[in-house]
Amino acid sequence: MRLFIAIQLSDEMKKALVACMHDLKKQGVEGSYVPADNLHLTLAFIGEYKEPERVKKVIEKVPLPQFRMTLSEKGNFGNLLWAGVKGNQKLKTYVKELRAALKEEGIPFDDDKFVPHITIVRKVSAKKPYQVHLPKAEMTVKKAALMKSEMKKGKVVYREV
């Protein structure tokens, strides 16, 4: 089972990101656009792991403080385009505590530096320069979710475990 811990986005946040993606398409940006239902912010990528209950226990053990999350910047990792969120100390502290608890339990995860981002397009290519216009959007974050990634009819689908 391919697992990750994420913040699921509000409908308002998804709408803003979908509007941004439509704008990119109009500008001729090609790539693999993330379906609205799959938009999320990953806190810890676990990958193939057979014991989701152990991961859920860690999530329950590390309290997530409620906070406001606001879209702010944009960026890319190579040909992957993402929307960022405003610097948020509560989020950074939570991720640090969550990852420490995963490590303590011996649950493997991708320990890259945490850069809070929401992937919007993979394998980006464009014949001419383009602008990423992120609409204003914010939401209240109340929980982190254990998600699984699975293939359904040739498409990747993310579901809460």
Best CA proximity match to 107, nearest among 66, 55, 63: 55
User: What are the φ and ψ backbone dihedral angles of 60, each rounded to 5 degrees?
Assistant: -65, -30
Query: Which structural domain, as residue segments, surrounds residue 125?
Result: 2-160
Contact 147, 158 (CB under 8 A): yes
pLDDT beneath 50, residues of the chain: none
pLDDT of residue 87: 82
Cα dihedral value 158, 150, 83, 27, nearest 10: -110
Q: Which CATH number characterizes residue 85's domain?
A: 3.90.1140.10
Alpha carbon distance 5, 145 (integer Å): 6
Instruction: Give pTM, 2 decimals.
Output: 0.93
pLDDT of residue 56: 97
What domain count does the chain have? 1
